[in-house]
Amino acid sequence: MSLNRSDIVNIARLARLALTEQEIPLYVEGLSRIMGLVGELDRADTSQVEPMAHPLPGQRQRLRFDSVTETDRHELYQRNAPQVEAGLYLVPRVIE
């Protein structure tokens, strides 16, 4: 299975990854090879089997008691933030 340049451009856009012109052919080649490998899956007859969603069988979601366990620590958490003001994370203007 082979991908072309426009596939890569579309995927990169969906994944929000800026690619340089030089990178694009590398990903065309790389992803095509990977999807070639993935194509081997067609060999398996999976008509009688459900998709596996979780590595351990028979597990179910545990529920957490509804109580507030967290306190305001936004100053600590915002130390890693590239740009904050008045407690807000800043991003370029979003137009709705």
| Binding residues among 11-70 for another protein as defined by CB under 8 A | 11-19, 23, 26-27, 30-31, 33-44, 46, 49-56, 59-70
- Tell me the C-alpha distance between 28 and 73, whole Å: 44
- Tell me the C-alpha distance between 61 and 83, whole Å: 37
Rounded to the nearest whole angstrom, what is the least distance from the CB of residue 45 to another protein in the complex?
Answer: 9
Residue 4's nearest CA partner among 25, 33, 22 is: 25
Residue 4 binding another protein, by CB under 8 A: no
Rounded to the nearest whole angstrom, what is the least distance from the CB of residue 21 to another protein in the complex?
Answer: 13
